[in-house]
Amino acid sequence: MNARPHVTLEEVARSARVSLATASRVLNGTTNVRSDLRERVVSAASELAYTPNAHAQALAGGSQPTVGVICHDVSDPYFAGIARGVMRVAGDNGLLVMLASTFRDPHKEVAYVSMLRAQRASAILLIGSGFEDKGWEQAMAAELDPYRRGGGQVAVVSRHRSLKVDTVQPENREGAAALAKALLKLGHRRFAVLAGPRALTTVNDRLGGFSDELAAHGVELTEDDIVEAAFTRDGGYAAVQEMLTRQTEPTCVFAVTDVMAIGALTALREAGISVPGEMSLAGFDDVPVVRDLTPPLTTVSLPLEELGERAMDLAIKGARGGRSRILRLPGEVVLRGSTAAPKS
Amino acid sequence: MNARPHVTLEEVARSARVSLATASRVLNGTTNVRSDLRERVVSAASELAYTPNAHAQALAGGSQPTVGVICHDVSDPYFAGIARGVMRVAGDNGLLVMLASTFRDPHKEVAYVSMLRAQRASAILLIGSGFEDKGWEQAMAAELDPYRRGGGQVAVVSRHRSLKVDTVQPENREGAAALAKALLKLGHRRFAVLAGPRALTTVNDRLGGFSDELAAHGVELTEDDIVEAAFTRDGGYAAVQEMLTRQTEPTCVFAVTDVMAIGALTALREAGISVPGEMSLAGFDDVPVVRDLTPPLTTVSLPLEELGERAMDLAIKGARGGRSRILRLPGEVVLRGSTAAPKS
DNA sequence: AGCGCGTCTGAAAGCGCTTGCAGAATGCGC
DNA sequence: GCGCATTCTGCAAGCGCTTTCAGACGCGCT
């Protein structure tokens, strides 16, 4: 109704009987201003509940205090953990975060980058696995390149390296390999893997690291041992059901993601298979809640918040001299109650 | 390095040999433009990888396709569920979401509103319990009022009504009361409540609903039965430890939040108290993961995503004729394995 | 008292885009 | 072939703010 437009700097200046320039300077602390004038401006501003128009500021050359973050799904605890780190660093630096959730739709992802570009976000963070898809990569590059050429920062968590940007990489391959080694040491020889869609780089890396390490110890993983499913709790649940219909008789299941492992655990329980008594189960990520499962989940612990913090750091200190920087953060195998020696 | 400024509409226009106005009209589809001109503009734009400067657009009068969402903690699954709904609706409407995480700091919350105001976000959503604090309420109102006067939409999930804004309210009181009734019916008479800080309206409502219902059935809840702790998993964990040191001997524990209940469950297990054998446990929210706990958690199920969707709807269809609208969404008691009749 | 210097303040020029307005171009009927 | 109605197109005025530049002012000095 009384959609009276926003209070402008000009009104403040008029009300304080100073010039626009002076008002601006007071509010930004750019230059010294005689104290009585400053006083007048400050009180006029607060009286009118003035807030600068960020768009005008941005247009006029002031830098833009917003960064964009694109993830697959805000409600996935893996992402949530990373986002937490991102938010903290952003908050500490007075940055506003624009968060977009793509629900794993590659088109949306590109579209969001475009919007962020329009917003002249000072940085864009891509979080979560990239897609192994030529077409997508090109479309993404077509947005990202002009963005960076225009001075935008890009940082990425856990992506394919073919996007030549600053990257924070959890060591998926190595982590999965270390997990495989630990599982072998427990005595397991027959494994099943619950994998997400192979189009995701993360899945590939973890799966590859795991099976290579197995192979190095003379244990082959066949296609039959690998169940592909959605990258979610329900995906894990369904994957176990699928697995149980197959001929394979694993003694240990590796879900490439904790979230999938959670679903798997429930499916196993409902099938009357005790964990770890009859079947060991391991995940990856060390999402907070897996500690509270029964049994607590063996997994590869990733410093989720730190991943986010580092990515944000890279984006902020965007001193991209030349090469794109890659920061590798290792995971650590954490053996908990969900794994044990196989029933002999 | 080659921080060449962004491509502007003017360059596009020049490259297409048309006027600025025409280029603008082509790109916005405002008016019909002769097809050959349109053609030239379109191809020039794509060749130059042009993206309009959203700030300039906003300044020049075009409306702003961004909304702000403020929550306590992105990594809390309760919020994550709501955010999911918000994101979906936002995405469907071509809106960019700016998400801020306050980590429960009231000052930050106000500060973020101010930033969002500066961004001229077309709507601001406040998610999560408000603070029962006069000073905070005033500070908040001081930001929100001018914002709305300037045409901004505000919607809120689960807040105190004293902020006169469109609200989506989960029925905390009623849900807690219904839960109390169900628990009484199971035969419980001695309860403990793990509560979050009383400064949060949500805590008050749930606690109030629960204890009032108990009282209506002749069961009194004393201060000793209530343990106050942080609103987190660790808070729940600590609260159980505290509870165990007290004289009370409850047969049933109500954690006002699923997240707290998760911590509580682990603490109980570690204390060697079986659930539900020796102690029943109930939560509130029905966060996805509680189904996968052992035992699965009895709780009051809230339609989390819908809460978010509705809030976003309210904000978008901001037809605030006069009164602020309040949408109440009921919760539903879901009895799962974590509750049983008390050991007689 | 007069001069030079340093510090403040204000006028004005954009930042990139939208849009009202007026002039150009097109098509039609006669 | 001419006049008029009907589209299109281009000019130019802002949107609200920052910032350069030059003028105004006050000071200490000679």
pLDDT in tens, B213-247: 999 999 999 999 999 999 899 999 999 999 999 98
d(CA A22, C1' C12) / Å: 14
**B218 in contact with A at a CB cutoff of 8 Å?**
no
Q: How confident is the model at residue B2 (pLDDT cuts 50, 70, 90)?
A: very low
- Residues A91-107 have a mean pLDDT of 85
The beta strand positions in chain A, using DSSP E, are 66-71, 96-101, 123-127, 153-157, 166-170, 191-195, 226-228, 252-255, 280-282, 299-301, 326-329, 332-334
DSSP characters for A244-256?
HHSS---SEEEES
- Residues B261-287 have a mean pLDDT of 96
CA of A35: nucleotide with nearest C1': C8
CA distance B306 to B329: 9
pLDDT of A312 above 70: yes
Residue of B nearest to A6 (CA): B150
Q: Do B54 and A269 touch (CB under 8 A)?
A: no
- Residues A45-72 have a mean pLDDT of 85
d(CA A57, C1' D19) / Å: 12
The beta strand positions in chain B, using DSSP E, are 66-71, 96-101, 123-127, 153-157, 166-170, 191-195, 226-228, 252-255, 280-282, 299-301, 326-329, 332-334
pLDDT of A5 reads 64
- Residues B138-164 have a mean pLDDT of 83
pLDDT of B122 above 60: yes
- Residues B140-148 have a mean pLDDT of 87
pLDDT of B74 above 70: yes
pLDDT of B162 reads 67
Q: How confident is the model at residue A133 (pLDDT cuts 50, 70, 90)?
A: confident
Q: Do B88 and A103 touch (CB under 8 A)?
A: yes
Q: Which residue has the higher pLDDT, A258 or B115?
A: A258
d(CA A16, C1' D12) / Å: 31
- Residues A26-35 have a mean pLDDT of 80
In percent, the amount of chain A with pLDDT more than 90 equals 52
**B45 in contact with A at a CB cutoff of 8 Å?**
no
What are the distances in angstroms from CA B252 to CA A138, B173, B216, B293? 58, 19, 18, 18
- Cβ contacts below 8 Å, chain A against chain B, sum to 186
CA distance A54 to B257: 38
- pTM (2 decimals)? 0.86
Query: How confident is the model over A224-251, as pLDDT tens digits?
Result: 999 999 989 999 999 999 999 998 889 9
Tell me the β-bridge partners of B280: B252
pLDDT of A100 reads 83
Give, as one character, the DSSP assignment of residue B332: E
pLDDT of B260 above 80: yes
> Averaging pLDDT over each range in A64-68, A99-103, A171-175, B201-205, which range is the top one?
A171-175
> Averaging pLDDT over each range in B71-85, B209-223, B322-336, which range is the top one?
B209-223
Strand D positions closer than 7 A to protein CB = 7-12, 14-20
pLDDT of A295 reads 94
- Residues B251-268 have a mean pLDDT of 97
pLDDT of A51 above 90: no
